[in-house]
A and B are shown apart, each in its own frame.
Chain A
Amino acid sequence: MFRLAIEKTLNHMINANNIDIEHIDNKIISLKVEEIDLSLFFLCMNSRVFVLDKPQNKKIDVSIVMNKAAFLSMLKGSTIEELIEGEEIEINGNIKTAQQLADLLVSSSIDIEDLISQYTGDIVAHQLGRAFRQLKEGSLKNDGSIINNLKDEITTALIAPSRSRFFKRRVSK
C-alpha cells in the first residue's frame, strides 16, 4: 500500500508534467530513513518509477541513508550537497543521481503525512506532512488527479489486509 501510493504518485507526476527520467534510467536507488524504519528501492525503467520492497540481489547504484530531520529538510528543499555538508546524510554512489531522486520526491504530490503515519502514527508524520503540504501548495497542478488517487487508495484500503482489523500482519513481500 505504502509503496504503491508513492509509486503511483511519482508516476502520475512524471506523466502529467512530462518529466524526463532518462538520466536515472536503469538505476536502482535505495533510500533509508532511520528512526522511522523506512526503506525503499527505486527502480527507473521504461519512463516510469517502480518502488520495490527488496532489490532482489541486484546491484544498488546509489544508496542514501539519512535521519528523519534530514528527510524533512530534503522535502523542504535542502539539496543533497547541503545535507552532506551538514553531515546529515550518507551517500554511496553518484550524488547527482541521488539529487535527481530527491527532486522527483520533492516535486511530487505525495502526502508524506498520510503515508508515514501508517508506519509510525506519531507526531513526526504530522510535521513531515505539514511541511510537505506547505511546499506543495500553489505548485501543484490540480487536474483532479488527487481525487482519483484518493479513490484508488480508498478502494485499496478496503481490500488491503495490512489495514484490516483481522489481518494485522504486514503481508507485502
Chain B
Amino acid sequence: MGKTTHFGYKQVDVEKKQSLVKGVFDSVAGKYDLMNDVMSLGVHRLWKNYTIASSNVSNGDQVLDIAGGTGDLTIRYRKKVGSTGKVILSDINNSMLYEGRKNLLNHGVIDVDFVQANAESLPFKDNTFDCVSIAFGLRNVTDKDAALKQMCRVLKKGGTLLILEFSKVENQMLEKAYDFYSFNLIPKFGDFFANDEDSYQYLAESIRKHPNQETLKTMVLDAGFEFCEYHNLTGGIVALHKAIKA
C-alpha cells in the first residue's frame, strides 16, 4: 500500500478514499434529507440558519456552495443575493447533485448553477466569489489543505469562507452522550430508515477523525486566509469557522 489516509476509522490508500466516499454518498443520496432530520433531530436547520446569518451575503453577491449536496444552503443564499447575484452549487457527486436539483425545484428555486467538481481543484477563476461555504463536506475531502487553498484562491479580497462541520464537543458529559448516540443509534437509524448501516457508521467515524476547532483554524490560516474565528454550536458538536481573505 502507498500513501494512506483515513476513511472513517479505516486506513485506506489515498487514491481510494474519493471513490469510497463516492460510494457512501451514492448510497445515501436518496434518503439524505430525511436522514439529516432524523439524525440531528432537525437541529441541522438551525446550524445552517446560523451559517447564513454569519455570511453577510446580500444583494448582488456571488456565492459558491461547495459540497452543496441537496442544496439546503444554496436555497437560503439564493434568497439573499437577489436577481443581480449568483449562486453556484458544486459537489463531486452526481447522485447528490441530482437530488439537489430535485430539491431546489421542489422549493421553486431555479436560478442556480450546478457544477460537478472536486473541492481540491475548483474550476473557477481567481477572485470570483464574495462568499464560499462548505457545510458538512470538508471532512470527506481527501486533501483538505489543497481544498482550503482553492477556496482562498476563488474568493475575492475581503471575501468570506464559512466552514460548517462536526467538531470536538467541549463538555465531557455531552461528549459521552454524543458518542453513544453517534456509534450506537446513528448506524441503527441508518439501517432502519435507509437500510444502510455501513454508510452511517462511516459518517459517525469520519466526524471523530476530522480536525478539532483549533487545528482547523490553523489549517485555514495556513491556506492563505488572514483572519479566522470559529464559533461552537450546540456545545461544539458543530463548529462554524469563518475566515476572511485579505
Task: Give the B-binding residues of A (Cβ under 8 A).
Answer: 4, 7-8, 11-12, 15, 26, 43, 45-48, 50, 52-54, 56, 58, 152, 155-156, 158-161, 164, 166-167, 169, 171-173
Nearest-Cβ distance from residue B224 to partner chain A, whole angstroms = 14
Cα–Cα distance between A156 and B233 once the two chains are bound (Å): 9
Q: Are A46 and B229 neighbours in the complex by a CB distance under 8 Å?
A: no
| Distance of A159 Cα from B130 Cα, bound (Å) | 26
Complexed CA–CA distance, A12 and B170 (Å):
33
Contact in complex: A4, B227 (CB < 8 Å) = no
- B54, A43: Cβ atoms under 8 Å? no
**Do B58 and A52 touch (CB < 8 A)?**
no
Which of A46, A158, A172 is the one whose CB lies under 8 Å from B157?
A46
* Closest chain B CB from A148 CB (angstroms): 10
Q: Tell me which residues from 47 to 69 in chain B have a Cβ below 8 Å from any Cβ of chain A.
A: 47, 49-50, 53-54, 56, 58-59
Known A-B contacts A46-B159, A171-B170; A53 and B53 likewise in contact (beta carbons under 8 Å): no
Q: Is the interface of B mostly helix, strand, loop or mixed?
A: mixed
22 contacts between A and B (CB under 8 A): A4-B54, A7-B56, A8-B56, A11-B58, A45-B157, A45-B246, A46-B159, A47-B158, A50-B227, A152-B49, A155-B49, A155-B50, A156-B50, A159-B47, A160-B231, A160-B233, A166-B174, A167-B235, A171-B236, A172-B232, A173-B213, A173-B229
The contact string, 1 if C-beta is below 8 Å from chain A, for chain B 157-177, is 111100000000011001000
Q: Residues of A contacting B226 with CB < 8 Å?
A: 56, 58
What is the bound-complex CA distance between A158 and B53, given in angstroms?
13
Q: State the CA gap A8–B190 with chains docked (Å).
A: 38
Write out the residue numbers on chain B whose beta carbons fall within 8 Å of the beta carbon of A155: 46, 49-50, 53
Within 8 A of A (CB), among B206-230: 213, 217, 221, 226-230
Give complex CA distance A173, B232 in Å. Answer: 9
Q: How far is the CA of A45 from the CA of B233 in the complex (A)?
A: 26
Cβ–Cβ contact A52 & B158, under 8 A: no
Asked if B50 and A166 make an inter-chain contact with CB atoms under 8 angstroms apart, the answer reads: no
Q: Which residues of A contact B22 (CB under 8 A)?
A: none
Which residue of A has the minimal Cβ distance to B47? A159
Whether B229 and A172, one on each chain, are in contact in the complex, defined by CB atoms closer than 8 angstroms, is yes
- Asked if B234 lies at the interface with its beta carbon under 8 angstroms from chain A, I say yes
Which residues of chain A are near B6, meaning CB under 8 Å? none
Nearest B residue to A158, CB-CB: B46
Q: Could you say which residues of chain A place their CB within 8 Å of the CB of B47?
A: 159
Q: Which listed residue (B46, B171, B221, B230) contacts A166, Cβ 8 A?
A: B171
User: A48 — which chain B residues lie within 8 A by C-beta?
Assistant: 56, 58, 158
Contacts of A159 in B (CB 8 A): 43, 46-47, 50, 233-234
Q: Give Cα distance in the complex from A46 to B232, angstroms.
A: 26
Question: In the complex the two chains form, is B156's CB within 8 Å of A46's CB?
Answer: yes
Output the least CB separation between A43 and chain B (Å).
7
Is B244 at the interface (CB under 8 A from chain A)? yes
Q: Which residue of A lies closest to B238 (CB)?
A: A159
How far in angstroms is the closest Cβ of chain A from B91?
25
Contacts A11-B58, A45-B158, A173-B230 aside, 16 further interface pairs with beta carbons under 8 A come to A4-B231, A12-B58, A43-B244, A46-B157, A47-B158, A50-B56, A50-B227, A52-B229, A56-B228, A58-B227, A158-B46, A159-B43, A159-B50, A161-B236, A171-B236, A172-B231
Q: A7 to chain B: which residues have CB within 8 Å?
A: 56
